[in-house]
Amino acid sequence: MDKRRSRPHIFAMTQRIDIQDSTAERLAQLQTLTGQDIDTVLDAALAARLEQLEMEAFRAAVKLGADEADAGLFSTRTVEEIVANGIALAKQRQHG
């Protein structure tokens, strides 16, 4: 069976989502191991990934500010602008 093929899976009888077979298998394994419903398993996985990405973006923003300060570059940018630039750098690293 081609594990990369996408097929629809029905969750909670009100939502339809297309996922890879391998993803469906991982979800089923997690559901079996935890005894939790699929919504809880997905929510926990998504929350963990979001937290990881937010921390990476925050670290990138702090590093950017520290690197600029170490280089003697003093900016008139706001903290929000520095954080936004750090987030953009983190996204670039993830995608390429």
* pLDDT, tens digit, 9 for 90 and up, residues 49-58: 999 988 888 8
Residues 94 and 55 in one domain: yes
Residues 56 and 92 in one domain: yes
Residues 53 and 94 in one domain: yes
On average, the pLDDT of the chain sits at: 78
Whether 19 maps to a domain, the answer reads yes
Whether 1 maps to a domain, the answer reads yes
Whether 43 maps to a domain, the answer reads no
Per the CB < 8 A criterion, the answer to whether 4 and 21 are in contact is: yes
Per the CB < 8 A criterion, the answer to whether 60 and 89 are in contact is: yes
Q: How many Cα atoms within 13 Å fall on the side-chain side of residue 1?
A: 8
Whether 40 maps to a domain, the answer reads no
CA distance 15 to 24: 15
Q: Which two tokens stand for residue 78?
A: 């706001």
pTM of the predicted model as reported, rounded to 2 decimal places: 0.54
Q: How many Cα atoms within 13 Å fall on the side-chain side of residue 36?
A: 11
Q: Which domain holds residue 94?
A: 49-96
Whether 68 maps to a domain, the answer reads yes
Residues 23 and 56 in one domain: no
Residues 31 and 53 in one domain: no
Q: How many domains does the chain have?
A: 2
Residues contacting residue 39 through CB under 8 Å, at least 6 positions apart: 11, 12
Query: Lowest mean pLDDT: which of 10-14, 59-63, 73-77, 81-85?
Result: 10-14
Whether 42 maps to a domain, the answer reads no
